[in-house]
Structure 1
Amino acid sequence: MSTPRFLTLPPGVSRTTVETSRGPFAALEALPGSRVPERCPALLVPGLTGSKEDFLAMLPTLAASGRRVVAIDMRGQHQTPGPDDPDAYGRAALGGDLVALLEALGPDPVHLVGHSFGGLVAREAVLAGPARPASLTLMSSGPAAVTGNSADKARALKDAIPELGMAAIWSIGLEPDYVAGGVQAEILAFLKERTLGNSEAGLVGMSREILTAPDRVDELAKHCGDTGLRTLVLYGEDDDVWDPRVQAEMAERLNAARVVIPSAAHSPAWEAPETTAAALSDFWNQAEHTLK
C-alpha cells in the first residue's frame, strides 16, 4: 500500500471531478503558474489500493513545464463511486474508463501513466483503442500477474474482505502497523478515510484481476510498433512487487525507454517525487517531438 507524502494541496493543485461518458471521476488537477497549458496534458492512474493522492508530491513539478496534469481515483477507489459487483472491476472495464478519460481530457493527445495495477489497466486502454495517448508510461508495473509475496498479499485481501470487511481489516491489520511505524496523525486519518472509502467489491475485483492478468507485452509491443506510440518503463531500484529484472526485461521486449529511480521501491512518485517528475517530463517532451 502506498502513502501520500503530504496531504495539504500545494499551489496550483486543486480537487476536481472529471466528467466522462462513463461517469464522474474524482481527481487532483495541477496547472502551470500561468494557468494556461502549453503542452499535452497528462493522466496519472493509481494502483490497486492507491488513490490520486499518491501522485500529490510531484504534481506541481510536472505542471511547471506547461502542462495540465490530472491524477484520478479509478472507479470504486477513494472518492470515485463504483458498483457493488466485483465483476465490474475487470481490467477491460477499467481500461474503458481510461479511454473515456483520455477523450474527456482532449482534444490534445494525453500522456498516460499507470502505476502498479494501474499500469495493467493503462495497457488495456491502449490495446482497446480508439483513443491514442501521447505516450504510455508503465510505472512500477509488470508484464503479467503478481507472484510470490505480492500475490500472497493480494490473495489474502481478496479472501478477507467478504469475511471481515474493510473496517475490521483496518482496525486489526492496518492501523496498528501504521501507528507502530510513527505515521503522522494527519496522514493516518487520511489513510483510514481512503481505506474505508474504497469499494469493497472493487478491492475484491481488482485483487482478482492483479492475480490473473495475462502477459500481453508482445501485443503491446506490436501495437506500439504499428502506431509509433512511445513507451517508458519506470520503476524504483528496490521495487518489491514486480522484480526490477522482470520490468527491465519487459522494457526490452517493448523496445521502450527505461528509467530506474534510485532510492525508491514500489512508489517512486512519493519516495522520489522530484527525480520521478523530471524523468517523466523529459520523456514526455521527447515523445511530443514525434507526434504526428
Structure 2
Amino acid sequence: MSQLLTLEVPDNARPVRMRTERGVFAALDVAPHGHVPAWATALLVPGFMGSKEDFLPLLPLLSGKGVRVLAIDGRGQYETGSASPEPSYSRDDLARDLISIAGHIGVGPVHLVGHSYGGILARAAVLATEGDPALWASVTFMNFGPAGVSSWQRERLRLLLSVIDSMELADLWPFVKNKEASVPRDVELFLEQRWLRGSREQLSAAAEQMLNEVDRTPRLSRLPLPKSVVSGTPDVTWAPEGVEQMARDLGAGFVRIEGGGHSPNVHRPAETASALVEFWLSCQRQRPSDQWEPTIATKS
C-alpha cells in the first residue's frame, strides 16, 4: 500500500483535469519556482491504492530544481474515477492512458516515474511505444521489481481478492489500512476517503496484475531509452535482490535509499528527489546509460 505522512500542498501546485483522448484525469501540475523555465518535465505514476498525493513531499524539491512535475491519479484512483465511459483496467489499457497523458502534456518527451504498481504500467507504456523518444526522455522504476510481488505480498493480495467482491469497501478499510504507521489524523481520514473513492474493479485488476506480472526485463533492456531504478529499504513488496538484479540486467542506474521503505518519496524525499534530478541531468548530458553503477543514499 502506498504511504503518506502529510497533505501539505506546495503553493505552486495547481490541481488540473487533463482532458485526453482516453478520458479525463486528475493531476497536480507543478511549475518551477518563480519565472525559471522548466528544463525537464516529469510524469509521476502512483502505486496500488495510491494517488497523486503520494508524491507531495517530492513536488517542491523537484520544482525547486527547475523541473515541471505532473503527478496523476490513474484510471480508477481517487479523483480521476473511471475517467471515461466503459472503462477498462487491463494493464495495457492503463498503459495507453499514460501514453495519451504524455502526449497531452505537449512539451516534448517526459521523464516517466512509476512507483510500485505504477512501475508495471510505466514499463508497459514504454514497451508499447518501443521507448519512443518523442514521448519519453527516460523511465524510472521506484520500489518495483521485475515480475510478480514477493510471497508475503502475494498472500495479502490473494486475501483481498477473495473478499473484495463480497464486502463493502468501507467494511474492508480496517483490514487494509496501514496499522503500523503513525500518521496525523487528517492524513488518516484522507487515506480512508481515498480508499472509499477508489474503483473496486481497478483494485481487483491491479491485484491480479501484481500477482501475475511476468519478467519483461530482456525486452526493455534492448530499448535505448535511459533507465534508472530507485529502491527504498527495507521493503518486502518485491524481493530486494530481484530489484537490484533487474537494474543490472537493464543496464540502469541504481540508487538504494536506506530508510526509505516502500515509499522513499514519502520517507526520504530529499534523497529521492536528488537521485531523480541527478539521473535526469545525466540524460540531458547524454551520458551512456549502459553502465550499471550502484549508489547507496544513506539516511541523514
Question: Quick one: which amino acid aligns to residue 241 of structure 1?
Answer: T
* Matched residue, 1:250: 246
* Matched residue, 1:232: 228
* Matched residue, 2:59: 59
User: Which runs of structure 2 are paired with 1:32-47 in the superposition (5 Å)?
Assistant: 32-47=32-47
Contact in 1 for aligned 2:31/2:38 (Cα 8 Å): no
Indicate whether 1:141 and 2:144 are aligned.
yes
CA distance in 1, matches of 2:100, 2:83: 18
**Aligned with 2:286 (options 278, 287, 290):** 290
User: Which runs of structure 2 are paired with 1:124-273 in the superposition (5 Å)?
Assistant: 124-129=124-129, 130=132, 132-170=135-173, 172-174=174-176, 178=179, 182-223=182-223, 228-273=224-269
Percent of pairs identical after alignment?
38
- Output the aligned Cα RMSD: 2.0
CA distance in 1, matches of 2:84, 2:148: 24
Contact in 2 for aligned 1:4/1:57 (Cα 8 Å): no
SS in structure 2 at match of 1:93: helix
Contact in 2 for aligned 1:87/1:205 (Cα 8 Å): no
Report how many residues are paired: 284
Give the C-alpha shift of residue 86 in structure 1.
11
Contact in 1 for aligned 2:57/2:266 (Cα 8 Å): yes
Give the C-alpha shift of residue 238 in structure 1.
1.0
Contact in 2 for aligned 1:269/1:276 (Cα 8 Å): yes
Question: Quick one: which amino acid aligns to residue 45 of structure 1?
Answer: V
Which consecutive unaligned segments of at least 5 residues does structure 1 have? none
CA distance in 1, matches of 2:266, 2:199: 24
Relative to the length of structure 2, the TM-score reads: 0.89
Question: Quick one: which amino acid aligns to residue 152 of structure 2?
Answer: N
SS in structure 2 at match of 1:41: strand
Give the C-alpha shift of residue 289 in structure 1.
2.0
Aligned CA distance change for structure 1 residues 281 and 195 (closer, same or farther; 3 Å): same
* Matched residue, 2:273: 277
Contact in 2 for aligned 1:84/1:201 (Cα 8 Å): no
SS in structure 1 at match of 2:29: strand
Which consecutive unaligned segments of at least 5 residues does structure 2 have? 288-300
SS in structure 1 at match of 2:160: helix
CA distance in 2, matches of 1:73, 1:83: 10
Relative to the length of structure 1, the TM-score reads: 0.92
CA distance in 2, matches of 1:197, 1:220: 34
Runs of 4+ in 1 over 6 A off after TM superposition: 83-87
* Matched residue, 1:50: 50
Give the C-alpha shift of residue 105 in structure 1.
1.4
SS in structure 2 at match of 1:80: coil
Aligned CA distance change for structure 1 residues 196 and 35 (closer, same or farther; 3 Å): farther
CA distance in 2, matches of 1:58, 1:156: 32
SS in structure 2 at match of 1:10: coil
Question: Quick one: which amino acid aligns to residue 72 of structure 1?
Answer: I
Higher share of residues assigned helix: 1
CA distance in 2, matches of 1:145, 1:268: 20
CA distance in 2, matches of 1:189, 1:86: 30
